[in-house]
Amino acid sequence: IEMRSIHQPAPTYVEQSTEAQILVTGIKVLDLLAPYARGGKIGLFGGAGVGKTVLIQELINNVAKAHGGFSVFAGVGERTREGNDLYHEFIESGVNKKGGGEGSKAALVYGQMNEPPGARARVGLTGLTVA
């Protein structure tokens, strides 16, 4: 296991790919109307209960099963129940193995809504470091 600080400088432009590629999500409406850039950053913003987590679940499932890729889910301000549900959903769907480890395709990082703001702010940085 490699230990890293969550406070790191961003990659230089030389280290980043300049080739524009589309991330094929397997969700036809996204691929057609709002395609995501491969290797880019994706932000999903919306009110409570509108389906953000369901969409992310489907994206992670498709990336893991269709492409053999790995995903990092950083839940900033998530409810404890929703985080637990997502963990068990990934186990049931075969994306992750129980307890994590070998064969798991997604890392889940949470800063729950009852945590202080400083702890929640570090969740995003931790997710980027894991990725």
Q: Which of the following is catalytic: 15, 41, 65, 78?
A: 78
- Specify whether the CB–CB gap between 89 and 82 falls below 8 A: no
98 is an active site residue: no
Give me the amino acid identity at 115: E
Q: What is the DSSP letter of 39?
A: T
Q: Which of the following is catalytic: 58, 65, 79, 82?
A: 79
Residue 122 CB burial class (10 angstroms; 0-12, 13-18, ≥19): middle
79 is an active site residue: yes
pLDDT digits (tens, 9 = 90+) for 92-115: 998 998 887 788 999 999 988 888
pLDDT digits (tens, 9 = 90+) for 11-58: 888 887 778 888 888 889 989 998 988 877 777 788 888 988 888 889
Predicted structure pTM score: 0.79
CA 12/CA 88 separation, integer angstroms: 37
**Cα three-residue angle 103-109-113, rounded to 5 degrees:** 150
Assign domain 13-130 one CATH number from 3.30.450.20, 1.10.3720.10, 1.10.10.10, 3.40.50.300: 3.40.50.300
**Domain residue ranges in the chain:** 13-130
